[in-house]
Each structure stands twice: as C-alpha cells, then as structure tokens.
Amino acid sequence: MQNEINSSVPELDPNKYHILSNTAKKKLILIAIPVVFILLPILTFFYYKFAVLRPSPSIKEVRFQIQHGDSLPDIAQSLSEAKVLNSRFLFMVYLLSNNMADSIQAGIYTIPAGATVVDLAEMFQHGVNDTKVTFLEGWRVEEFARLAASKLDKVEYETFVEMAKPYEGYLFPDTYELALDTDEEQLLQILTTTFAKKTKDLILPSHEEELGLTKEQIIVMASLVEREVRLQEDREIVAGIMLKRLKEDMKLDVDATTQYVVAPNRLCNKYECVVTFDTMLDYSWWPHDLTEDELNLNSPYNTRKNKGLPPEPICSPSISAIEAVLKNSKTPYYFYLNDVQGNTHYATTLEEHNINIERYLR
C-alpha cells in the first residue's frame, strides 16, 4: 500500500519549480551577506535619524522634575504628557538597551525645545545642580519661606511669603530635590501641585457629607489638629472633640490659632512691621507664652473668642492629620490639653478639665 502511495506522487521538475541547486544557494548567501552588512548601517542610521535623534514637538523649554523612586515608565509617561517626547516606547528601549535606566538622577531639569531621546537620556544621567530641601509638617508659609530662602539662590523670603500666603495650608510638606536656581513662582507651583496630587483621592464627597464640612474646612481642621497633637491616636480623638464642639455650637479654644495671629503681630509696632529674612532666622512662629491680652485678641482666628473654624488653614497639615479628621474617634470627651512633655490628657466636663490644668500645667 505504502509503495502504491509513493509511486502515485509525481516527481518535481527542477526546471519547472526553480529549485535552487546547492551551488545557487551558496551564491545567494554570498550575495546576501554583504547586502545585510550594507543595509544594517543604513537602517541603523535611519533609526537614529527618525527616532532617537528626532526633535521633540516642544517649542519652548520645559521644567521637568524627577523624584526619587520614579520608575522609567512613570518618567516616560510624564515626559509624554509634557509634550517633550515623541515615543515613550523608543525612549524606554533606548535607555534600557544602553544600560542607562538604572542611573537616572532625581532633580529638576530644564529641557530645551526640540530635545531628542539622546538629549534626554544624557541629561538624566548627569543630574542637575540641585539640593535636597525638607519642608516639615505643621509649618506655616513663613517657615517654608525661611528654609527656601536659605537653600535656593533665587528665592527671596519676603517675595515668597507674599506669593504663597494665599495658599496657606496647601503647600505639601515633604523632601524635594530642587534646582538651586528655582525661583519663587516655580517653588510655589511645585508645592501646591504636589499637595493637590497627594490629596486628590483622600477627601471624598462622602466624607464631606458625613462630617458636615467642605473639603476646604476639612483642611482647616486638619491644620489645627496638626499643630495641637503629635500621636495619630490622639489626633483622631482631638479631631472628634473638635467636630463635636462645632456641632454643639461650642468654641474650639485652640491656642494654635491665636499663635498664628500673634506671631506676626509681635514683629510690628505702631510704626512698622520688621519682617526680613535676617529677623526670621531664629524667630519662633508658634509662641507659647501668650499673654492675657493676646488670648483675648480680636481676630477671626481667635477660637477662644469666636465660634466655628478660623477662615483659613494655619499651617500645612500632613496626610496623617487629614486622615485623623476623616477617621475621627467618637469619645465622651469635650476637653483636652497637652502637658510640658507633649502628652495629651482628656476630660469630659469643664471641672475635670480644670483639674487637669492644675495637675499638668501648674
């Protein structure tokens, strides 16, 4: 049977089907090899010419920041969104194929218009003339300005305070890699943009409805909590006390709000206010030695005299302080105080609170 099948299959005619002989195959290989060697450099040239050496579509220079921990895909995505990259894929391939991905330096870069993939890759390897600046949680604008003016060449203390004061509470406290030539406007943009990014999904409409507060009021309360207590457990309890006092139309009695107003007032006399960088170097922006007159100061920020929240935040709250307001603890307490060691003590009644004052503060 097998022999019958084999005999029924016609033999192929070499002339009809152009089957290459071994000699022809060798000749074809000898021709193909030099063709490949000729075409490969040409293809490589066009790859560089039209891909990695192709100028980006940007028509003006762009300030671009790389933070510690940013991944290569994240950097590529941000570059693409900034319109300084033709292809995220080619950018990543170029860095990976040239072993450059793991040596990208954090910092703020000035990317010129029309930069290529090669330009960007080289730029990110060498870093920039930058410095690490740490802004602390619970700082007010003047404290941000004091540190920035001491670290950054183009930041003037008075200028930054004037520009940033309307954004009190919305400068995100964190460690930043900043170029030494960062100016006041650029710094303000970095701090406020970071705050918006970090808190975007933190405060939900359901939180506003549950607490009976707007998002802005939640930030105000978080700034009070930030200045009043340190430990997260205490912060949630104190946030609960503040919310309960608000709902029951009681004054908050938060001394930090009075400190916020008193500190700049102490720099002024009836003729002028002495507010310069030199005077700010060792100045205490949160005075604890409040006088009776200062405690009775007529100001919307004085929560001993006025019911409700102050009109604006008094500092930049941390994420933990905001979360403390959102997760506030339900307790029977209406009063609290901090002793000289910073420990927080609670009371249900004013009588118990006065006993705590005598016990821990006298």
With a pLDDT cut of 90, the percent of the chain lying above it is 57
Report whether pLDDT(34) > 70: no
Q: What's the token pair of residue 233?
A: 């457990």
With a pLDDT cut of 70, the percent of the chain lying above it is 83
Mean per-residue pLDDT, 83-95: 87
> Which tops the pLDDT comparison, 328 or 180?
328
Q: Could you count the other beta carbons within 10 Å of the beta carbon of residue 354?
A: 12
User: Which range is least confidently modeled, 46-55, 162-171, 269-278?
Assistant: 269-278
The band of 114, judged by pLDDT with boundaries at 50, 70 and 90, is confident
The band of 36, judged by pLDDT with boundaries at 50, 70 and 90, is low
Considering 35-44, 79-88, 134-143, the range whose residues carry the highest mean pLDDT is 134-143
Contacts of residue 136, defined as CB under 8 A and 6 or more positions apart, other chains included, come to: 143, 173
β-strand partners of 134:
175
User: Which range is least confidently modeled, 51-55, 103-107, 184-188, 303-307?
Assistant: 51-55
> Which tops the pLDDT comparison, 153 or 226?
226
Report whether pLDDT(46) > 80: no
Using N-to-C axis directions, what is the helix angle for 215-228 and 319-326, rounded to 10°?
110
The band of 29, judged by pLDDT with boundaries at 50, 70 and 90, is low
Using H for helix, E for strand and C for coil, what is the string for the chain?
CHHHHHHHCCCCCHHHHCCCCHHHHHHHHHHHHHHHHHHHHHHHHHHHHHHHCCCCCCCCCEEEEECCCCCHHHHHHHHHHCCCCCCHHHHHHHHHHCCCHHHCCCEEEEECCCCCHHHHHHHHHHCCCEEEEECCCCCCHHHHHHHHHHHCCECCHHHHHHHHHHHCCCCCCCEEEEECCCEHHHHHHHHHHHHHHHHCCCCCHHHHHHHCCCHHHHHHHHHHHHHHCCCHHHHHHHHHHHHHHHHCCCECCCHHHHHHHHHHHCCECCCCECCCHHHHCCCCCCCCCCCHHHHCCCCCCCCCCCECCCCCCCCCCCHHHHHHHHCCCCCCCCEEEECCCCCEEEECCHHHHHHHHHHHCC
Contacts of residue 163, defined as CB under 8 A and 6 or more positions apart, other chains included, come to: 184, 185, 188
The pLDDT assigned to 30 comes to 64
| d(C-alpha 217, C-alpha 226), whole Å | 14
Report whether pLDDT(38) > 80: no
The pLDDT assigned to 54 comes to 79
Q: How far is CA 151 from the centre of its chain?
A: 19
The pLDDT assigned to 15 comes to 56
Phi, psi of 133 (to 5 degrees): -125, 125
Give me the amino acid identity at 145. Answer: A
The pLDDT assigned to 150 comes to 92
The pLDDT assigned to 27 comes to 63
- The mean predicted confidence, pLDDT, of the chain is 87
Phi, psi of 51 (to 5 degrees): -120, -80
Report whether pLDDT(215) > 60: yes
The pLDDT assigned to 184 comes to 96
| pLDDT, tens digit (0-9, with 9 covering 90-100), for 173-201 | 999 988 888 999 999 999 999 999 999 89
β-strand partners of 79:
none
Kindly report the pTM of this predicted structure. 0.67
> Which tops the pLDDT comparison, 341 or 15?
341
The pLDDT assigned to 78 comes to 92
Report whether pLDDT(135) > 90: yes
The band of 266, judged by pLDDT with boundaries at 50, 70 and 90, is confident
Contacts of residue 189, defined as CB under 8 A and 6 or more positions apart, other chains included, come to: none
Contacts of residue 268, defined as CB under 8 A and 6 or more positions apart, other chains included, come to: 274
The pLDDT assigned to 73 comes to 94
Q: Of 32, 28, 29, give the one whose Cα is nearest residue 40.
A: 32
